[in-house]
Chain A
Amino acid sequence: MTDQDTAVPVLRATGLVKTHRAARGGAEVRAVRGVDLGVGRGDFVAVTGPSGAGKSTLLHLLAGLRRPDAGEIHLDGRRVDTLREADWAVLRRRRIGIVFQTGNLVSDLTVADNIELPALLAGHSARAARERREELLTDLGLADRADAAPAALSGGERQRAALARALVNDPDLLFADEPTGSLDSRSAREVLALLTRHHAKGRTIVLVTHDARVAGSADRVVSLFDGLITDDARVDDTPPARGIRDVLDLGG
């Protein structure tokens, strides 16, 4: 094992449970049924599984967008699942970047404003935010689309802009929920390449996808089925020793 595994995982979840309840006595959907997961610093983890496996719900739980029914989440050893929503929001500003399937750029804001918004929220000056945005857009090849409205962008451009927005505060953790789900194969390849590049710079990435090829870019693949982890494998030459347990044991 590398020293990466011996370090305290940057993100550790134990016994996560989440049940969706439809309004007015509708059916219950047990989306996540007791998931233990540890993510080491610098990991690129792909969470994969068929539709309805609970991938997105798990990601939402880890990013603090939903509150788990049971279980614990620790970020850098600090328990965070008990945080109030406002504290989660503050935490997300600096530590967590999120990319959704459809980009979810705020429709009324220009691309530039969308990207600068989290920087301003994190307390950076307007000038610093602008400089960082320019840097990112240039890096992602969108420098000339800064003043465009999100609706005027192609799907690939939208995802790249969303990625820029997620990266603007240099977060430790980047969550991506089906970032290539609505893209053609060329745009998908571009976005994946960007993710890989940022992973190479040392960023920790958790990516949710149902596409095996996308999952292949990650260095660790966690398979989810009916809300439970069925497999946890590294995509390098070394086969996993004891699946998820070694991470948990090390972490615990």
Chain B
Amino acid sequence: MGNAKDTLIPGISPVIRAWASVGGKKESEGPLAGEFDLLNGENSLGQESWERAECLFQQQCAELCLKKAQLTPDQVSLALGGDLQAQCTATAYAMRTLGFPYAGLYGACSTMTQGLALAACLAGSCLLPQVLVMTSSHFCAAEREFRTPLGYGGQRTPTAQWTATAAGACLVSPQGKGPKITALTFGRVVDLEVTDINNMGAAMAPAAAQTILRHLAGRGAQPGDYDAIVTGDLGLVGTRLLLQLLEGQGVHLTNHRDCGLMLYDRQTQQVGAGGSGAGCSAAVLCAHFLPRLAAGEYRRVLFLSTGALMSQTTYLQGETIPGLAHAIELEGCV
């Protein structure tokens, strides 16, 4: 499992110069509320559809990130982004307004680290000076695409997760001030034949375990060498499984955090097994981890976004759910 060749070290460690996070209503009631750059009190943002609202979340986030980086839109060399809507329309339509050179990505909820790893390759080889990485998800848009209409009176299973209404954006440059991306590992698709669309943490946990093991092997590191090993949205079930899978490989994690468990209070917010969505790991990275890395509170963090790669069609056809996790290693400012 520990294939050292999967871990890449950029020629120069690129820097996340600026970042921004935007959240919706439920996120504004959660434990990380005070750490977001912008919180919207209602999730439609006055738009006619949830899809349009998600597009606006991305726009708000990109604009905030550029403002913090003191960049004008024409200085962005490339935007890498994606979301959960079919054909990634939230990002594409946001780009219609923003006008950056754009390459769309789809890695489901793993898209944020997919984008950051690619940006690290592009900026780390000095090919592009300013790469914007952004992802989002919207609870209402995801529910109608993957599950049932919002008004439908169904009961959620305790393993189901709550799609975050949130967006995160990072600006990656070859140099500057900010947390560095010192290494990265692109994940491999892993499928241990979970078929329950209401238990995606279980489907993604094996992929996260595998990428963590590969990254540790590639770096010759121990879990204790990191201040935190963070996963995107495994939730309660996926977290339990991840820890068990790693234990089985002789790796004991004591510094694990999961963005899906951090974003909401499971006891009071009725989010099932925790948060999920492409915007979950992106927003928690930008709201919580990057500011702490910049402040020197964390020195070294391994950050993974985790994705479940099914579609509604493959699910209905009885296919199992493949998982994917990409890792980036972040070094804080001293």
Decide if A and B are genuine partners: no
Q: Using a CB–CB distance below 8 Å, which chain A residues touch chain B?
A: none
Q: Using a CB–CB distance below 8 Å, which chain B residues touch chain A?
A: none
